[in-house]
Amino acid sequence: MKLKQKELSTKQQRIIDYIRHFWLEKGYPPSIRDIVGGCGLSSTSVADYNLKILEKRGYLRRHREVSRGIQLPDRFASGHKLYIPIIGQIAAGEPIPVPDNDAWDSTASADTIEVTRDLIRGREGVYALKVKGSSMMDALINDGDIVLMQNVNTVENGEMAAVWLRAEREATLKKFYAESGKIRLQPANSQMKPIFVEPGNAEIQGRVIAVIRQLA
């Protein structure tokens, strides 16, 4: 008895990928001709030929005589998104909010931003702040941007940190460098000059993980 070859050809793999891609993007399954166009096939019969094979091997399910009647097993679905609470705003003259423990367990009424897991990369204690005002412009961050923060008290040299300057009563986002006896805070815009502060004056409130700016 001959064993069936279980491997998929590159073309079949591409078809699977395309169907998933199409599905996720459009919200409904592709037609045969969508697949032909999207995978660069030359004929609908080629698509049909390969779809039949894919169905026989259990990679998908088809419904006869039904337009776009292609069904992918949903082992691909969900599990990739997270809801990050937007717990407050960051502005020059206000203290940087720090998440209190209540904010974590409650999925409730707080504002949230939906992000994908790869943006967080498994980090713990991530929250989001909305930038108010244009005082963070030297960090290339503008009013309305969302800053994803991780709740840490120390950062590595060169990382972007949210720093509260006690004396100046000012919040700022800068690249952090601990140097001999001083702390250097470097704007992201390298044409601008750094500022130096005493270690006792700079309170690290968090590490900046990502910046999201939504336009239009």
Partner DNA sequence: AGAATAGTAGAACAGATGTTCTTTAAGGCT
Partner DNA sequence: AGCCTTAAAGAACATCTGTTCTACTATTCT
Query: Could you tell me the sign of the dihedral formed by the alpha carbons of 197, 188, 84, 142, in that order?
Result: positive
Residue 9 found at the interface with DNA (CB under 7 A):
yes
Q: What are phi and psi of 17, to 5 degrees?
A: -60, -45
Considering CB distances under 5 to 8 angstroms, the limit depending on partner class, which of its own copies, DNA, none binds residue 74?
its own copies
Smallest separation, CB 13 to DNA (Å): 12
The reply on whether position 50 binds DNA by CB under 7 A is: yes
Residues 162 and 153: beta-carbon distance below 8 Å: no
The CA distance from 46 to 52, in Å, is 10
Q: Which does 39 bind (CB under 5 to 8 A by kind): DNA, its own copies, none?
A: its own copies
Shortest distance in whole angstroms from residue 73 CB to its own copies? 9
| 26 catalytic per annotation | no
Q: Is the dihedral of CA 187, 188, 189, 190 positive or negative?
A: positive
Does 131 engage in binding with its own copies (CB under 8 A)?
Answer: no
Residue 214 binds which of its own copies, DNA, none (CB < 5-8 A, kind-dependent)? its own copies
Identify the residue whose tokens are 């409130």: 205
Instruction: Map the footprint of its own copies across residues 88-107, applying CB under 8 A.
Output: 102-106
Would you call 174 a catalytic residue per the annotation?
yes
By the 8 A CB rule, do 166 and 154 touch?
no
CA atoms lying within 13 Å on the CB side of residue 121: 6
CA atoms within 13 A on the CB side of 20: 14
Smallest distance from DNA to CB 4, Å: 9
Contact of residue 116 among DNA, its own copies, none (CB under 5-8 Å per partner type)? its own copies
Q: Between the CA of residue 166 and those of 39, 58, 77, 163, what are the distances in Å?
A: 59, 63, 47, 9
Positions that interact with its own copies (CB under 8 A): 14, 17-18, 21, 23-29, 31, 37-40, 61, 63, 66-72, 74-83, 102-106, 114-119, 134, 137, 140-142, 150, 159-160, 188-191, 207-216
Q: Which residues are catalytic?
A: 135, 174
